[in-house]
Structure 1
Amino acid sequence: MTLVRRSTWDPFNSLVRQFDRDLDFFGRRFFAAPNGAGFVPAADVERDGSDVVIKLDLPGVDIAEDVNVEVADGRLVISGQRNSDETREVDNAVLREVRRGSFRREFDLPEGVGADQVEADYDRGVLRVRVRDINKPAAGPAKIEIRSGAPEEN
């Protein structure tokens, strides 16, 4: 006989399972977007006490103009676009790298979590979104302001 140990439901585990499902879905369909039309930024999801921290790699993205972080319908939505051109000369050859495309990452939030519990910081190419106290009741949908610079440590 095999014994299976089950634990109580944890909102963070739900978020991680959704993240895994998103990767599986995107891995099969969207990592290789046609004609380079889009990209899926790498993301880390981790727990910090009663908070959840999501980090997305977004180097070369204009955060103020091209990225939105929102909470709506029980989901954290991070979307935007990347438009970067880099030109350099190496050994009498001009190398040009063009990175363009839109992205959208969505994460299920535990019931009751709202925009008043979400804060976002951007520093050195990494967008860090912190969902504070995931067990606290929430307010309504709202857009999240992204601050520039290193995040404040608690």
Structure 2
Amino acid sequence: MSTLSLWTRRDPLAEFDALVRQAFGPAATRRAGFVPVAEVTRDGDDAVVHVELPGLDVEKDVTVEVDRGQLVVRGERRDERTEERDGRGLREVRYGTFRRSFALPRHVTADAVSASYDAGVLSVRVTGAYTGTGARRITVTTGTDAPAIDQA
């Protein structure tokens, strides 16, 4: 008679080691990067995208573009600080690339997009993004008024 066990013997330290490598290994640090907070609001027929980018030099480190129907905001954050404390030097380096993309309506071109930066917030205005997107009521006909529908 053979038995089937649902429990197998595993090395708990090996499992823990695998979890740590998965969470903190080189591939995980590449994926993490810097992800800025973004908010999309409506202003009449325009869409306005606000992206929080405090401390960045937007002229040097940020790119805003329209690519294949997407509004793409991307860049790199670099922050280095050196401090002397109790006779010891402390150096802190934070960096990360980011890329945020937002789908655009088909009728929007790059000419409809403008961007400005103030107080750590990048504001991108997409003029006319909501043009023609309102609800349109369809008349429902009844009985003898209804057009004939070919059911072939």
Quickly name the TM-score band, shorter chain normalised: 0.5 to 0.7
- 1:126 maps to what in 2? 121
Q: In structure 2, give the amino acid aligned to 1:73.
A: R
Identity %: 53
Q: Which has the larger radius of gyration?
A: 2
- 1:139 maps to what in 2? none
The 8 Å contact of residues 47 and 130 in structure 2, kept in 1 or not, is answered as: no
- 1:16 maps to what in 2? none
Taking only aligned residues, the RMSD between alpha carbons, in angstroms, comes to 2.5
Q: In structure 2, give the amino acid aligned to 1:132.
A: T
Moved >3 Å (runs of 4+):
87-97
Query: Where does structure 1 lack aligned partners over 5 or more consecutive residues?
Result: 1-32, 137-154
Change beyond 3 A, Cα 1:79–1:35 = closer
Q: TM-score, normalised by structure 2?
A: 0.60
Query: Where does structure 2 lack aligned partners over 5 or more consecutive residues?
Result: 1-27, 132-152
Equivalenced residues, count? 106
Pick aligned residue for 1:41 from 36, 47, 52? 36
- 1:99 maps to what in 2? 94
Q: TM-score, normalised by structure 1?
A: 0.59
- 2:25 maps to what in 1? none
Aligned 1:78-93 pairs, distance under 5 A: 78-89=73-84
Instruction: For residue 34 of structure 1, give the secondary structure of its aligned residue in structure 2.
Output: helix
1:88 Cα deviation from its structure 2 partner: 4.0
The 8 Å contact of residues 74 and 100 in structure 2, kept in 1 or not, is answered as: yes
